[in-house]
Amino acid sequence: MFCHLSALLGIWIPFGTLIGPLILWQMKREMDPFVDAQGKEALNFQITVAIASAICFLLMVVIIGFFLFGLVAIGALVLTIIGGVKANEGVPYRYPFTWRLIK
């Protein structure tokens, strides 16, 4: 659960969306296979969100990037909370639209 919700640190800490899940996953991944899998899932999702945000930032030159960035931010917030709730219930959660770079 904390691997998913630690991404909310990005609200207050620059790059917290990546640093929080990475640190928690590195610390706890060997204790439980569920934590390992969900930590990878949370980290992959946050990497995907960071890439999408960078693309939106580039598209801000043609105005549509502002709208797309808002969609990405709201979607990331909602999906992060859903992932945290599901993990807390012990249910494996797979984020939609995620590039799974960490296997």
Other CB atoms within a 10 A radius of the CB of residue 26 amount to 11
Residue 1 pLDDT > 60? no
Render pLDDT for 30-84 as a digit per residue (tens, 0 to 9).
888 888 888 899 899 989 999 999 999 999 999 999 999 999 999 998 998 898 8
What distance in Å separates the CA atoms of residue 82 and residue 73, rounded to the nearest whole number?
14
Residue 9 pLDDT > 80? no
Q: For residue 102, what pLDDT is reported?
A: 85
